[in-house]
């Protein structure tokens, strides 16, 4: 498997929220390789750009959700997952745990919490 790029893929079906996460990543000095609103778009972008980190919402457009996308990306690319979601249902959180994410952040997310999760994800890649 080839090395991952030090970039971030943002996956959220709301364009304004995706743009907000992009701005946060750029403020942290990270390159955003793309945004996706569906699981299929997310997988295609991840395979193309091989991002180190994926910020993943659970609810996406289309038949597949963010957990489906995360599992496929993890298997195909190996990117670290940070879920950012408003979903707190036990069955959803159990599905998220299947992917062993670096973090699960419940919306709304404070800037310092997002920064800590991203920093942790990056440091776990070099450890």
Q: Is the confidence at residue 116, as pLDDT, over 90?
A: yes
What is the pLDDT, as a whole number, of residue 40? 98
Please report how many Cα atoms fall inside a 13 Å half-sphere around the Cα of residue 5, on the Cβ side. Answer: 15
In the numeric block, the tokens 């069955």 are attached to 91
Q: Is the confidence at residue 1, as pLDDT, over 60?
A: no
What is the pLDDT, as a whole number, of residue 31? 97
What is the pLDDT, as a whole number, of residue 2? 62
What is the pLDDT, as a whole number, of residue 125? 77
Spell out the alpha helix ranges (H) of the chain: 15-27, 39-49, 66-76, 90-97, 111-126
pLDDT, mean of residues 120-124: 90
Q: What is the bridge-based pairing of β-strands 103-106 and 5-11?
A: unpaired
Q: Which CATH number fits domain 9-110: 3.30.70.100, 3.40.50.2300, 3.40.800.10, 3.40.50.9100?
A: 3.40.50.2300
Q: Is the confidence at residue 126, as pLDDT, over 70?
A: no
CA distances to 38, 49, 55, 59, 104 from 13, in Å:
7, 20, 12, 7, 17
What is the pLDDT, as a whole number, of residue 87? 87
- Residue pLDDT, tens place only, 11-50: 999 999 999 999 999 999 999 999 999 999 999 999 999 9
- Residue pLDDT, tens place only, 40-98: 999 999 999 999 999 999 999 999 999 999 999 999 999 999 999 998 999 999 999 99
């Amino acid at each position: 498997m080839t090395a991952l790029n030090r970039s971030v893929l943002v996956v959220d079906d709301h364009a304004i929220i995706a743009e907000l996460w992009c701005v946060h990543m750029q403020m942290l000095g990270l390159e955003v390789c793309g945004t996706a609103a569906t699981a299929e778009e997310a997988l295609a972008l991840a395979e193309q750009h091989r991002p180190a980190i994926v910020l993943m919402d659970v609810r996406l457009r289309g038949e597949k959700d963010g957990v489906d996308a995360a599992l496929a990306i993890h298997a195909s690319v190996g990117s670290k997952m940070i879920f950012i979601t408003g979903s707190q249902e036990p069955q959803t959180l159990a599905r998220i745990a299947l992917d062993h994410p670096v973090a699960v952040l419940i919306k709304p997310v404070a800037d310092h919490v997002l920064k800590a999760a991203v920093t942790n994800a990056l440091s776990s890649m070099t450890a």
